[in-house]
Structure 1
Amino acid sequence: MKINDKVIAITGGARGLGYAMAQRLGNQGASVALLDRSAEALDEAVSSLAAQGITAHAFPLDVADESSVVETFAEIAQRLGPVAGCISNAGITDDALLIKAEDDVVTKRMSFEAWKRVIDVNLTGVFLCGREAATHMVEARHGGVIVNVSSISRAGNMGQSNYAAAKAGVHALTVTWGKELARYGIRTGTVAPGFIETPMTAAMRPDMVEKVAAGIPLKRLGEADNIAQSVAFIFDNDYFTGRIIECDGGLRL
């Protein structure tokens, strides 16, 4: 899909990977709709992108709230036109072991609240945004592209029952939607990042970062733009749908 002047919505677009996607797609001529919970972060991102000559617009959004998603996509259509692309990138972590025991006594468990919070944002949010984007694309009769951001953790990772389950589910949605939506001219794709240099990894202890990097075949963390490049490829390749790009430096958990 040629994205020049096309409206592309990016959840979690105010920082990190979402911001890098906005930079790359905006530089290719897309009209970028940044969706995020923080209005302040959105304003900063829009100003920063504008300074680079990129057209971006701010839309505060709670991806886990159905009415918020419906209203926001309607506002995007009203202000910019119906979306031609939607990237579900917003995500959170709330890590814990399923259970922790000492002397056959369970002392800690992953809380239901932690499970639900991560599933609500990382999986239900993808469903809500994908459904709304597909609705607008079909009714506008112009097709489009839906990209879902998963993770290397989708294969399962200790301490991340909630996150791993959500990220595995994200790609299942991509495959399902690829089969269901092709008839409407809508393609889908998943990008699964490995360890990437973001504000989240910047908060890690330097020795932990070194340990992680040592286990990656390419011996370094990826850059946010590496993920943005993967997303751009899905938009550009008109024969790509329902599949996943693993961008992780060769690492497998």
Structure 2
Amino acid sequence: MHIELTSRVAIVTGGANGIGVATARRLAASGAHVVIWDRVPDAGARVVAELTDAGHRALFIATDVTNRASVEAAVAQTVAACGGIDVLINNAGITRDAQLVKVKDGAASGGMSEADFDAVIDVNLKGVFNCTQAVVPYLVQRGGGRIVNASSVVALNGNFGQTNYVATKAGVIGMTKVWARELGKRGITVNAVAPGFIATEMTAKMPAAALEGMQAHTPVGRLGSPEDVANAYCFLVSDQAAFINGAVLTVDGGLVIGT
């Protein structure tokens, strides 16, 4: 399917690494003016250099999605440089995994810290709220737009040791459905993508046995690639997806039915 995004200005949060980089490349290849919001300037600059060297339009803005002032400054800089905003992909996310509580000899011996719980909530949930609320007025000015939020298959089934992460990704699905109702009449569609096990730098650090287990539970017999998720993002922001709103697209190789 040919996707044409030549006239679109597309923000990708967390666009300097992993799935974000693949998404920036995919959007740029479809003609979008890609704006990367990330907290890692060196990595962001490298991605922008790669895209511009290939003849694409790209911009990096150092942004902390948990900080409303930083987000608002990034919005202002994006609009000043690009003339407006058409697409927001809320891709930024972190993990801080731990069991809820560990019990030994009848007493708590450890568990998820409040700091780790709060950190994941701030980036994965509040960050999506901050960016979306700040960008929506500019989508309205354009007469419509596209918002895609990063959820996860763990939001649908839970996952051991990920109370904070699962809570945020389930929350993202809830917000997606609310915003689809609120913003659809403005010509803005809001959808979510729920990846399964994706081969990124994070999963590459996992033990081989764990990776083999992931593949064994995935009916297609492999981990997903960042490009698999990027393709889903790109489709949902395209004209071909104009009547898709409030949906959760799983990109998991059938993992949900395979568990």
TM bucket, shorter chain: over 0.9
What is the alpha-carbon distance in structure 2 between the residues aligned to residue 185 and residue 19 of structure 1? Answer: 27
Q: Which residue of structure 2 aligns with residue 47 of structure 1? A: 49
Say if 1:154 and 1:168, in contact at 8 Å, map to a contact too. Answer: yes
**1:197 equivalent among 196, 199, 202:** 199
Determine the structure 1 residue equivalent to 2:248: 244
Opposite residue 43 of structure 2, the aligned amino acid is A
One-letter amino acid of the structure 1 residue matched with residue 20 of structure 2: G
Aligned to 1:146: 147
CA distance in 2, matches of 1:109, 1:46: 40
Shift of 1:2: 5.2
Percent identity between the aligned chains?
40
Aligned residue number for residue 38 of structure 1: 40
- Assess if the C-alpha contact under 8 Å between 1:84 and 1:142 holds in 2: no
Instruction: Please give the alpha-carbon distance, in whole angstroms, between the structure 2 residues aligned to 1:23 and 1:251.
Output: 26
What letter matches 2:14 in structure 1? G
Report if the CA contact (8 A) 2:84-2:142 is conserved: no
2:180 matched residue in structure 1 = 178
Q: Which amino acid aligns with 1:131?
A: Q
CA distance in 1, matches of 2:203, 2:51: 23
Q: Could you say what secondary structure the match of 1:196 adopts?
A: coil
Aligned to 1:207: 209
In the alignment, the residues of structure 1 paired with residue 89 and residue 154 of structure 2 have an alpha-carbon distance, to the nearest angstrom, of 19
> Residue 151 of structure 1 aligns to which amino acid in structure 2?
S
Query: Aligned equivalents of 2:255 and 2:163: distance in 1?
Result: 20
Compute the TM-score of the two structures, normalised by the length of structure 2.
0.94
Q: How many pairs were matched up?
A: 252
Displacement of 1:144: 0.3
One-letter amino acid of the counterpart of residue 251, structure 1: L
In structure 1, C-alpha distance between the alignment counterparts of 2:169 and 2:83, rounded to whole Å: 30
What is the one-letter code of the residue matched to 1:249?
G
1:83-98 aligned at under 5 Å gives the runs 83-98=85-100
* Conserved? CA contact 2:35–2:78, under 8 Å: yes
The answer to whether the Cα contact below 8 Å between 1:92 and 1:118 also exists between their aligned partners in 2 is: yes
Alpha-carbon contact 1:23-1:54 (below 8 Å) kept: no
Partner Cα separation in structure 1 for residue 142 and residue 18 of structure 2: 32
TM-score (norm 1): 0.96
SS at match of 1:197: coil
